[in-house]
Amino acid sequence: MTVIQTDKPWEDVRQHIASGDATGLLGFLNHLGPAETARAVSRLTVEEHGQMLTLLPPPDAADVIEEMPEAQAVDLIEDLPPEQAAAIVDELPSNLQADVMAELDAQDREAIFEEMAPQQAADLRQVMDHPGNTAGGLMATEYLAYQDEYRISDVISSLQANREKYADYSVQYVYVIDAEGCLVGVLRMRDLIFTSRAARLRDVMIPQPLRVCVDNTLEHLKEFFGQHRLLGVPVVDENERLVGMIRRVVVEEAELKQANRQFLRISGIIGGEEFRSMPLLVRSGRRLSWLSINIVLNIVAASVIAFYQDTLRAVIALAVFLPMISDMSGCSGNQAVAVSMRELTLGLVRVRELLRVFLKEVAVGIVNGAALGLLLGGVALLWKGNPYLGLVVGGALAVNTVVAVSVGGLLPLILKGLRLDPALVSGPILTTVTDMCGFFVVLSMATILLPRLVP
Binding residues for a second copy restricted to 295-354, rule: CB under 8 A: 295, 298-299, 301-303, 305-306, 309, 312-313, 316-317, 319-324, 326-328, 330-332, 334-335, 337-339, 341-343, 345-350
Nearest to 42 by CA among 64, 24, 23, 18: 64
- Residue from 161, 196, 199, 263 touching a second copy (CB under 8 A): that is 263
- Residue from 10, 150, 275, 440 touching a second copy (CB under 8 A): that is 275
Give whichever of 54 and 169 is closer to a second copy, judged by the CB atom.
Answer: 169
User: Looking only at residues 151 through 210 of this chain, which bind a second copy when binding is defined by CB under 8 A?
Assistant: 156, 159-160, 168, 170-172, 189-190, 192-194, 210
Give whichever of 15 and 153 is closer to a second copy, judged by the CB atom.
Answer: 153
DSSP state of 237: -
Give whichever of 126 and 400 is closer to a second copy, judged by the CB atom.
Answer: 400
With beta carbons less than 8 A apart as the criterion, state whether 206 and 184 touch: no
User: Looking only at residues 54 through 93 of this chain, which bind a second copy when binding is defined by CB under 8 A?
Assistant: 67, 69
Give whichever of 128 and 393 is closer to a second copy, judged by the CB atom.
Answer: 393
CB half-sphere exposure, 202, CA atoms < 13 A: 8
Is 229 near a second copy (CB under 8 A)? yes
- Which residues fall within 8 angstroms of residue 293, CB to CB, at 6 or more apart? 428
Q: Nearest distance from residue 388's CB to a second copy, in Å?
A: 18
Cα–Cα distances (Å) from 88 to 27, 46, 74, 260, in that order, read 19, 17, 12, 27
The contact pattern for a second copy, residues 88-127, with x = CB under 8 A and - = no contact, is ----------------------------------------
Please state, in angstroms and rounded to a whole number, the distance separating the CA atoms of residues 124 and 440.
57
Note the Cα 169 to chain centre separation in Å.
Answer: 26
- Residue from 4, 35, 46, 418 touching a second copy (CB under 8 A): that is 35
Q: Nearest distance from residue 82's CB to a second copy, in Å?
A: 28
Nearest to 410 by CA among 362, 346, 347, 373: 362
User: Looking only at residues 382 through 401 of this chain, which bind a second copy when binding is defined by CB under 8 A?
Assistant: 383
Cα–Cα distances (Å) from 177 to 10, 180, 212, 273, in that order, read 50, 8, 15, 41
Bridge partners (DSSP) listed for residue 241: 182
Please state, in angstroms and rounded to a whole number, the distance separating the CA atoms of residues 110 and 89.
13
Cα–Cα distances (Å) from 378 to 8, 326, 395, 398, 437, in that order, read 55, 18, 11, 13, 22
Q: How many residues bind a second copy (CB under 8 A)?
A: 115
With beta carbons less than 8 A apart as the criterion, state whether 271 and 212 touch: no
DSSP state of 69: -
Give whichever of 116 and 389 is closer to a second copy, judged by the CB atom.
Answer: 389
- Which residues fall within 8 angstroms of residue 416, CB to CB, at 6 or more apart? 344, 351, 422
First-to-last C-alpha distance (Å) of the chain:
74
Give whichever of 20 and 385 is closer to a second copy, judged by the CB atom.
Answer: 385
Q: Nearest distance from residue 163's CB to a second copy, in Å?
A: 8
User: Looking only at residues 140 through 159 of this chain, which bind a second copy when binding is defined by CB under 8 A?
Assistant: 156, 159
Q: Nearest distance from residue 406's CB to a second copy, in Å?
A: 13
The contact pattern for a second copy, residues 239-258, with x = CB under 8 A and - = no contact, is ---------xx--xx-xx--
Q: Nearest distance from residue 222's CB to a second copy, in Å?
A: 8
Nearest to 176 by CA among 145, 219, 134, 220: 145
Q: Nearest distance from residue 323's CB to a second copy, in Å?
A: 5
Give whichever of 113 and 175 is closer to a second copy, judged by the CB atom.
Answer: 175
